[in-house]
Amino acid sequence: MRWGKKSSEKKLDGRERIDLPRLQRELGVRIGERGAAALLLACDEMDRTSHHELGAEHLIVGVLEEGGPAAQLLLQHGITPETARAQIAEALWEGGEDVPGAVELNSEAANILATAAEAAGMRGHPTLEPEHITYGFLCSGFEITSRVLHMIGADRQKLLQESEQLLSNGH
């Protein structure tokens, strides 16, 4: 899936950014200000690691860097941006040279965001926020998210329950 903006809508440094309006249309939910910030921070992480697709690993770091309630939940369970990056670095390799073009979501990230959008819709939340993204990757069971949680020693079920509580409290 390509989620990049037209060349006239590149970030000032020339890097492509995720096309939030298109992503909103595809997911069927509006992306809130904090959700957009987490996604843009995930794009920054993708750029930092020279990856060519936005993946689950970037979403985790984006949520952590956003710093809201979802990040606080992860931090309470020992998941910091540094520990997440360290586990991701062990599981993945750094990418090669930047390839200009649209930001693409890999299948894991697309599924995580679809789950997040469904969670927002089912709860009647008007926007998708980092708490929904966190719920999406905790539900996902993808290799990279499972590895990060396992290697850090986080209890996925407890995190999932607490994530659901965050969503129930309107976050």
19 occurs within a structural domain: yes
Predicted local confidence at residue 57, as pLDDT: 86
pLDDT in tens, 113-126: 999 999 999 999 99
Cβ–Cβ < 8 Å for 54, 18: yes
CA dist 85 and 83 (Å) reads: 5
Q: Which domain holds residue 145?
A: 7-168
CATH code of the domain covering residue 55 = 1.10.1780.10
pLDDT in tens, 133-146: 999 989 987 777 77
pLDDT in tens, 97-107: 545 556 788 88
Predicted local confidence at residue 7, as pLDDT: 32
1 occurs within a structural domain: no
Reply yes or no on whether the pLDDT at 9 is more than 50: no
Predicted local confidence at residue 3, as pLDDT: 39
Residues 6 or more apart in contact with residue 76 via CB below 8 angstroms = none
**Count of domains in the chain?**
1
| Least trusted range by pLDDT, from 28-32, 47-51, 97-101, 114-118 | 97-101
CA dist 169 and 88 (Å) reads: 30
2 occurs within a structural domain: no
